[in-house]
Structure 1
Amino acid sequence: MARVPYLDGEDVPEAYGAVFDRNRAGATNLYGALANNPPLLDAFVDFARTCWDECGLDEPERELVALTVARQTHADYEWHQHVPLALDAGLPEADVRAVREGRYGDLGSRREALTSYAAAVATASVDDALHRALVERVDDRTVVGVTLLAAVYTGLARFLDALAVGPEESFVGWGLDGLDDGDGTELSREDLLE
């Protein structure tokens, strides 16, 4: 049970209600928790969207960063939200499994650098070697973008954990085949994309 109520667009001043209309990911529990402070909801959504749009990565790579941080921080809400988004963006199931298992080397050199770096941002363990590996594959603008995107998802994981914000429906589990949400309910790829 969340530690704050989940509010909706009708519960906030009219000036902030439009934020809920921009919610493309279906993250109603996250938005509902943030809505307890409407100016911060509005600012966070704009900031996070800008980080997402301007980080210098394509959509599958952004999803890899989000999934990597979710896995590193044990953020079931973020994992639950981003697995279907990643699959919908064309990320192969094998890549999602590789992130789940920390097998970043299976993703190719650029994606290995991105996910290894994102994992290190999430665990406060970026070193010179990881930084160099990323700089060899992306420009400085993208380094800043990846760093901030990973930091946003790390901070979001801490926010969700502190306020006990859970997924809108049963957790998809940490995998795609045979893993369940803890109550024996297995979800197929089709379930994830619904």
Structure 2
Amino acid sequence: MARVPYLDGDDIPDEYGAAFERSRSGATHLFGALANNPPVLDAFVTFAGTLWDECGLDAADRELVVLTVARQTHADYEWHQHVPLALEAGLSEATVRAVREGRYDDLEPHREAIASYAAAVATATVDDALHRALAERVDDRTVVGVTMLAGVYTGLARFLDALAVGPEESFVGWGLDGLESES
């Protein structure tokens, strides 16, 4: 049970209704919890939208960062929300499994650098070698974007954990059960 109520648009002042509506994705519990502080909801929606659009990554690589952080921080809510989005964005089931198992060296070099770096951001272990590996594959603008994206999702994992915000439906689990056909 969440430690704050999940609010909806009718529960917040009208001037924040647009932010609440912009936030309406599948993550209703996240935004319902954030709605307990409408100015923070508004700022988060604006900031997160800009970060999402301007981090320098395509949709698949953004999802790679989010899944990597979710796994490193044990954020079942983020994993639950983003596995379907990652598959839809073009990440393969094999890539999702590699992230789940921390086998970044099984990924193509570009994605290995992104996932390894995002994992290090989530665990506060970025070193010069990881930074260099990422910087060899993306420009400085994207290095900043990846760092901020991983940092924000690490913070978001802490927010969700502290307030005991859970998935909207039963947690899909750390595998791909129900989302794939295993042979």
Could you list the structure 1 runs, at least 4 aligned residues long, displaced by more than 4 angstroms after superposition. none
- What's the offset of the Cα at 1:188? 3.5
**For structure 1, which runs of at least 5 residues remain unmatched after alignment?**
178-186
- What's the offset of the Cα at 1:147? 0.2
Q: Which amino acid aligns with 1:20?
A: F
Match in the other structure for 1:96: 96
- Check conservation: 1:25, 1:81, Cα contact below 8 A: no
* 1:43-81 Cα shifts (integer Å, max 9, x gaps): 011111111110100000000000000000000000000
- Check conservation: 1:160, 1:166, Cα contact below 8 A: yes
- 2: CA distance between counterparts of 1:25 and 1:131? 33
- 1: CA distance between counterparts of 2:175 and 2:145? 27
Number of residue equivalences = 181
- 2: CA distance between counterparts of 1:85 and 1:154? 18
- Of all paired residues, the percent bearing the same amino acid is 81
- 2: CA distance between counterparts of 1:173 and 1:81? 11
**Pairwise mapping of residues 11-160 of structure 1 onto structure 2 (< 5 A)?**
11-23=11-23, 25-160=25-160
The change in CA–CA distance for 1:189 and 1:14 in structure 2 (over 3 A counts) is farther
- What's the offset of the Cα at 1:170? 0.2
- 2: CA distance between counterparts of 1:58 and 1:86? 11
Deviates more, 1:54-63 or 1:44-53: 44-53
Q: Which amino acid aligns with 1:172?
A: V
RMSD, aligned α-carbons:
1.1
Between 1 and 2, higher relative CO (CA 8 Å, sep ≥ 6) is seen in 2
Match in the other structure for 1:183: none
**For structure 2, which runs of at least 5 residues remain unmatched after alignment?**
none
The change in CA–CA distance for 1:91 and 1:25 in structure 2 (over 3 A counts) is farther
